[in-house]
Structure 1
Amino acid sequence: MATVKDLDALHGWLESAQRHEAHLLSLLHDAQAEVNMIKSRCAQLEAQKCPINRVPNELLISIFTFFVQDLDQDDAEAEHKLCHWRPVVLSHVSRQWRILALSTSCLWSRIVLSKASPVSAFDHFITHAGTSLIDIFANDIDDDQSTRHAPLVSSEYLPRSRTIAITTLGPLSMVNFLRSLYDPVIFSHLSTLKLSCDPPHRVWGTFFHGLPSRPDVRFPGLRHVQLVEVPIYSVPIGVFRNIHTLELSNPKQGPYPLTRFHPHLLNVLSAARRLEHLILSDFTPFIDHGTDPIGGGNPLPTIALPLLQEFIWYYPEVRALRHFFSHVSTPRLRNADFSAKSNRGMTQNVTPFAFRFPFVDDLTIECDTQETLYSATREMEFPGIRNLIIQTSIDKWDPTSSLPVFRWSAIFRDLRVPYLTRLTLFRLSITLDHIGGVFQYMPSLRSLTCDMCDGVANLLCALSAGDCACPIGKSIHEDHGLLELESLTFRDCDGLRIGCLQKWICARNGDGESRHTAVNRTQGRSVARRKIKPLSGKYKSRVQRPGPTPTTTSIEKGLEGLSLGRSSTAACYIPNYLRQPSKITFVSFDNCSGIVEANARELQRLGIDTVEWK
């Protein structure tokens, strides 16, 4: 009996537990449904909100693009060693940045390869670049790696290239690329082409025999071409049709130097009619005396470069300068930089005519000997020059070497430079015999710089007419020279006499009694020296006779007919005795023996705005 009662009690507890379990399962089901509903709602709100701690993708892409493309010279040189690391860094910051970086094709358009770069680097960049334009930089590629980087010169990628810069360590790799320039492919986007190779083999020319010529329209957007130790005859002539900048460097080295016959250069220049900047480094064209008009030969037709504005030529022989300008006309040349060297094995002939450059503003002349300095520009005229730098490559600190003497009459054919405002002398010797009348030809000179020059004390003594000056007994200032001079700079100049400089600055700026003397002298100079005579009767009647008032139209026509070209100085000439000297406002000393800081402070008391001493 007791057993039946116990069994009934257990069944009651079981039913109660089962009811409790069912209730709990119902609560769990309701809780799970509520959790799912809350998660769905949160996802909806998350998609709608714009949190302040997240940058929009469009702005991130703009920041990425600026970061990748903003390369200075140091960054570019560092990246040329292995690869373009900037987009790689962006893709490893976070998951979101990686997705954006890999999906933005313009970030991967700069492809940098070297002999240390794995093949997978090219595949990775070219894959993520997609169909965007690419810039190819291949550095130090040797002949053994030419097959590894064969895709670079394939017809699949070359038409998409904006910039191609390839440096090889052997001729085979460069020849493979040069052959691709002859393929029937239109380089519609190519704007910059830079090719550099080690001294090539003597059989360069055999690689290009029998190659078909292509139309010149294959390079419509090419603007900049640089060839370093690459023969110009190996490049299709169409490459030079539309360029604005041309850089050629072919140094002589090895038993088989590059062929640098002058007709090859003439062919290139005849095709480059839009050329604006020409840079030749160690490029000495072959001088064929049969085509030299000065030697009595049959001259080649003159090639005109009507748009050329800048011409830089490093280390040409003086005769090469003459030969070049006898065949090439540069009517609009503005900037010229010639680092000439002396003729070897041949003397310089005297030219009966001169090459005139009326629009040249900046001129730099560097020579290796005194004879070169006196003959480099002797056959040239620069009537409109404004900035002139004359320097020599002679070591000043060598006790056995003497610096070339600054003789203005031996450097230029036409001594008059009425528009010259800045003159820089570098490694020259200034003597009393040749400094007296030089600055009379520079009435507009405002800035004078002497760098590592000898005899600067002679210049200061001539300015102030000191006891050590030339026997003429009067200063350059009193001889109506350097009236516009405002700035003086001396670097590594020995033997400066601060007394002569102070005396001259006192006369120019005025200080106490010197100021009163300078003002009286200036006022006396501002009056014409000759006596003004009255007009004769016929001219007087013409002046007193009233005439019609000129209209605006007639005045404009008269102004249009008036031409004040820089080559003509008569229309704008003002007599020196009517001009007042300018105030010296800037003086700088850099590593000049004989000048101490106390001397610089004394000059500041003379009314100079800026005095620098190092």
Structure 2
Amino acid sequence: MSTRIALINAEAAKFNAQIENLRVREDEFKKLIDGMQKLKDSIGAEKLELETKLRSLEAERPPVNWLPPELLGDIFLAVVDQEDSETGSTAKPTSRHPTIALSHVCERWRSVALSTPRLWSRISCEGAEPMGDMQRTFVRRSCTAPLDVEYRSLSMVPASMESRHVVEIFEDLSDHLARVRSISFECCGAEAVQAVVKILSTHNIGLRSLSLSITTPRPSFRGTPSLLERGTAREPDDINQAEPRLSDLKSLKLGEVPLFSLPNRLFVNITNLVLSYTPRPFVVLYERHVYQLKMSTLCQFLELTPLLEDFTMSNTVPRFDVFLNEDDMAINPDISTRPRVRLPHLKRLEWSYPYPGEIHWFVTFFDFPALEKLDIWTEEPPARRVTDWHISGHHDDWISHASAKRGRSLLSSLRDLSLQCAGENSLHSFRKFEVPFLQRLEITNADVRTRTGGKPFPSLPRLESILRDPRLLYLTHITLSHFDISPEHGRGEAFLGYMPALRSLSLDSCTGVRKLMESLQRKGVGTLGSSPDDPKGRPLVKMCPRLEAISLWGCEDVNISDVRAVVMARNVRVDEEKELNRSGQVVSESRRMIKPLRATRRRQGRDQAGMNLTPAGMADTKTTSKGALSTANIVYLRLNGCVGISREDALALGQLGVMDIVYDGRGVDS
């Protein structure tokens, strides 16, 4: 028994020795493997670092990645703003949103996008999903940047649901209302607008811009009588209670929303105002739940905007329910009257679509001492007006009587006048305005029938039939669109002959242009005084001697010889011109003189009284007329869609001193 145990012990000792030996060897291999693993890990880390550096180096190949992060962030902001302006700044799918797309381009762009809070500050919602995960993410990533909140309702959303969505938007933004810089809401019904008005009335939000509109045509305020009641004109004592210190609002846009729905304190610092109220037909003027924009209400509203600089009425004509105090309304003492509204800072007025007879009537309700730009798009009145849309109850003879009594309007600060009309007769309504210091004039025929070929272009009227005084001594730019320049002898001289300071002439889709070009070729008598650099002197031209730029779009009856003759008459010296004439090129010459217009009695009275109407920084009339003798070179030509002019012929005019030639469109070689 003992012998067997001894043998077992001996065998066990032998196995233990072997196991110990293997354990030692295992430890040695483990140490070796650990060392190899560490070496492998270090090699992997070094490889990863080099790969990262290589990717960074490869990423620097495109020049856009050389830009610093701050500049790249500004570029991202410009891209997003352009995308919103082109496609509308409403909610977009996540994959198509420009901000999301920019942040998914690469690691660096994502880092720059996430570190640019302003890139995430535009919160856009739609009626189906007012505030989703994407909008909340935008709010979180915008940090402390000012927010622009936009909402557009869907037509299939019920009014109650739309109103609830609007409330939910402001509830989600309750902690960020102090950051809201602008609000733009397009709602289908008045209920949602009422919710917005309630928020703005109860919260002191530091808004800079507000756009609030109802998209439903002729909306009903049956369910929101408070809006309609607040939308009526206020009493004078109530108007004077405005609180300018509480408002930062600079830009306001209202569409079909009653004017006085918002608190008066929001209006006093407005500089930009856009109103859009479709005129109502007579049959709905007296419906209880329909809002009408009246002239009396508009005047009282504008009295709350003393700092207004830019005023736009889009597809809006107020109902004229009031006259001026100076109008002799003894014929009907029941008609209400009011004083003029003074807007001392208004610089720009844009209006569409009044009837021609309403323009002077509307303008005379106001005093615009600083008005610089007037943009009017008129609508041709119907042949027979069975019922007046805008006067409603007042007879046309009252309007004619009062309008004649108001006389002419002097717009001494006006520099830019743009007239879009639907016919030749519409232009005659502007003869009641005097614009002595006008610098830019654009006249456009907007009749759709002429543009589609269903009706010929109207004949361009003489300038004295458009404006009270055609002598535009300070006019530098003129644009004519979709008119026929009559071949009547002297029509070109009658139109351009009294614009001595004209520098730019643009003609868009006009016919009869050749006659006008012939007028620009005509020369005066004699030459300009010689100089050491130009011993032979330069020829005098009869009209527009300072003309430097000519632009022709779609003028199909003009050819290269007409353009070349104008350039030669103004760019070529006398000796060079004679050489060109001997080589076979003929320059048209005419000795017909322009008879100056006799000064009007009113202008003579101003001159005798010593009134100086010359604007600051501008030469007086005598200096301008004398300086007009200096013939300028044609240095800029733009030719677009002129079938009688080829690209080669157009570019060849560079040899005659035209430095900038832009050729675009079909020509004889296309």
TM-score (norm 1): 0.75
2:129 alignment partner, SS class: coil
| Deviation by residue 1:220-243 (Cα, 9 ceiling, x = unmatched) | 221111112322232322222112
**Residue 9 in structure 1 maps to residue 6 in structure 2:** no
- The one-letter amino acid of 1:406's match is P
Q: CA contact under 8 A between 1:508 and 1:518: conserved in structure 2?
A: no
Q: CA deviation at 1:14?
A: 3.5
Change (3 A) 1:232 1:609: same
**Residue 112 in structure 1 maps to residue 124 in structure 2:** yes
How many pairs are equivalent? 557
**Aligned mates of 1:442, 1:566 — CA distance in 2:** 19
Q: CA contact under 8 A between 1:367 and 1:373: conserved in structure 2?
A: yes
**Aligned mates of 2:654, 2:141 — CA distance in 1:** 63
Q: CA deviation at 1:406?
A: 2.5
Give the counterpart of 2:167 among 150, 153, 161. Answer: 150
Change (3 A) 1:441 1:99: closer
Which piece of structure 1 moves more, 164-173 or 345-354?
A: 345-354
| Deviation by residue 1:158-192 (Cα, 9 ceiling, x = unmatched) | 44311111111222222221232222x2112x111
Q: CA deviation at 1:92?
A: 7.3
Q: CA contact under 8 A between 1:273 and 1:307: conserved in structure 2?
A: yes
- The one-letter amino acid of 2:498's match is Y
**Residue 191 in structure 1 maps to residue 208 in structure 2:** yes
Q: CA deviation at 1:365?
A: 0.9
**Residue 135 in structure 1 maps to residue 163 in structure 2:** no
Q: CA deviation at 1:218?
A: 7.5
Alignment-derived partner of residue 490 in structure 1:
552
**Aligned mates of 2:618, 2:408 — CA distance in 1:** 15
Once the two structures are superposed, the pairs formed by residues 50-449 of structure 1 within 5 Å of their partners are: 67=76, 70-75=79-84, 77=87, 80-82=90-92, 85=97, 108-117=120-129, 119-121=131-133, 122-126=135-139, 133-141=146-154, 142=157, 143=159, 144-154=161-171, 157-183=176-202, 185-188=203-206, 190-198=207-215, 199-203=217-221, 206-208=225-227, 216-217=243-244, 219-252=246-279, 256=284, 258-288=291-321, 290-291=323-324, 293-294=326-327, 296=329, 299-343=337-381, 345=385, 346=396, 350=404, 353-375=407-429, 377-394=430-447, 395-431=450-486, 432=488, 433-449=490-506
**Aligned mates of 1:480, 1:307 — CA distance in 2:** 40
Change (3 A) 1:592 1:571: closer
Q: CA deviation at 1:301?
A: 2.1
Which piece of structure 1 moves more, 128-137 or 244-253?
A: 128-137
5+ long unaligned stretches in structure 2: 47-51, 60-67, 232-237, 285-289, 331-335, 386-395, 524-538, 582-586, 592-611, 666-670
Q: CA deviation at 1:381?
A: 1.8
Q: CA contact under 8 A between 2:508 and 2:553: conserved in structure 1?
A: yes
2:12 alignment partner, SS class: helix
Q: CA contact under 8 A between 1:287 and 1:320: conserved in structure 2?
A: no
Alignment-derived partner of residue 460 in structure 1:
517
**Aligned mates of 2:264, 2:657 — CA distance in 1:** 61
Alignment-derived partner of residue 507 in structure 1:
569
Give the counterpart of 1:590 among 632, 636, 640. Answer: 640
Q: CA deviation at 1:148?
A: 3.5
Q: CA contact under 8 A between 1:369 and 1:404: conserved in structure 2?
A: no
1:182 alignment partner, SS class: helix
Which piece of structure 1 moves more, 336-345 or 89-98?
A: 89-98
**Aligned mates of 1:422, 1:261 — CA distance in 2:** 36
Q: CA deviation at 1:261?
A: 0.3
**Aligned mates of 1:447, 1:300 — CA distance in 2:** 43
**Aligned mates of 1:219, 1:418 — CA distance in 2:** 46
2:497 alignment partner, SS class: helix
Q: CA contact under 8 A between 1:443 and 1:482: conserved in structure 2?
A: yes
| Deviation by residue 1:447-488 (Cα, 9 ceiling, x = unmatched) | 11121222222223334469xxxxxxxxxx977321111222
Change (3 A) 1:91 1:481: closer
1:176 alignment partner, SS class: helix
- The one-letter amino acid of 1:170's match is G
Change (3 A) 1:174 1:200: farther
- The one-letter amino acid of 1:164's match is I
Q: CA contact under 8 A between 1:114 and 1:138: conserved in structure 2?
A: yes
- The one-letter amino acid of 2:278's match is P
Change (3 A) 1:114 1:41: same
1:227 alignment partner, SS class: strand
| Deviation by residue 1:62-103 (Cα, 9 ceiling, x = unmatched) | 966864674134346366243674565678789999999889
Change (3 A) 1:503 1:570: closer
Q: Alignment RMSD, CA only?
A: 4.7
Q: CA contact under 8 A between 1:208 and 1:234: conserved in structure 2?
A: yes
Change (3 A) 1:28 1:224: farther
Change (3 A) 1:176 1:459: same
Which piece of structure 1 moves more, 8-17 or 171-180?
A: 8-17
Which piece of structure 1 moves more, 72-81 or 450-459?
A: 72-81
- The one-letter amino acid of 1:151's match is E
Identity of aligned residues (%): 22
- The one-letter amino acid of 1:456's match is V
- The one-letter amino acid of 1:193's match is L
5+ long unaligned stretches in structure 1: 46-50, 467-476, 526-560
**Aligned mates of 2:370, 2:411 — CA distance in 1:** 8
Alignment-derived partner of residue 542 in structure 1:
none
2:196 alignment partner, SS class: helix
Q: CA deviation at 1:579?
A: 2.0
Which piece of structure 1 moves more, 246-255 or 122-131?
A: 122-131
Q: CA contact under 8 A between 1:494 and 1:592: conserved in structure 2?
A: yes
Q: CA contact under 8 A between 2:130 and 2:168: conserved in structure 1?
A: no
**Aligned mates of 1:69, 1:27 — CA distance in 2:** 65
Change (3 A) 1:247 1:118: closer
Q: CA contact under 8 A between 1:510 and 1:518: conserved in structure 2?
A: no
**Aligned mates of 2:74, 2:441 — CA distance in 1:** 42
TM-score (norm 2): 0.70
**Aligned mates of 1:385, 1:419 — CA distance in 2:** 6
Q: CA contact under 8 A between 1:101 and 1:107: conserved in structure 2?
A: yes
